[in-house]
Amino acid sequence: MIWFQKAAEQNHASAQFNLGMMYQNGDGVEKNEKVAQEWFQKAEQQKTK
């Protein structure tokens, strides 16, 4: 989880998406739909750059 977090913070879209999935499913972190959606949105923004 920590490596996904670090990569996501460096604007890696795949890490942002995977982190979103982890929060959506509660995989290694406490399930949190709001945080999941935030990471999904960040990943989507990376794809449009």
Per-residue pLDDT band at 48 (split at 50, 70, 90): confident
Token pair recorded at residue 20: 């979103």
Q: What is the predicted pLDDT for the residue at 20?
A: 98
Domain count of the fold of the chain:
1
How do residues 29-42 score in pLDDT, each as one tens digit? 999 999 999 999 99
- Which class for 38: exposed (0-12), middle (13-18), buried (19 or more C-beta within 10 A)? middle
Q: Which long-range contacts (CB under 8 A, 24 or more apart) does 14-19 make?
A: 14/43, 16/40, 16/42, 16/43, 16/46, 17/43
Per-residue pLDDT band at 49 (split at 50, 70, 90): low
Residue scoring higher pLDDT (8 or 48): 8
Could you tell me the residue range of the domain that residue 8 belongs to? 2-47
**Is the distance from CB of 27 to CB of 35 less than 8 angstroms?**
no
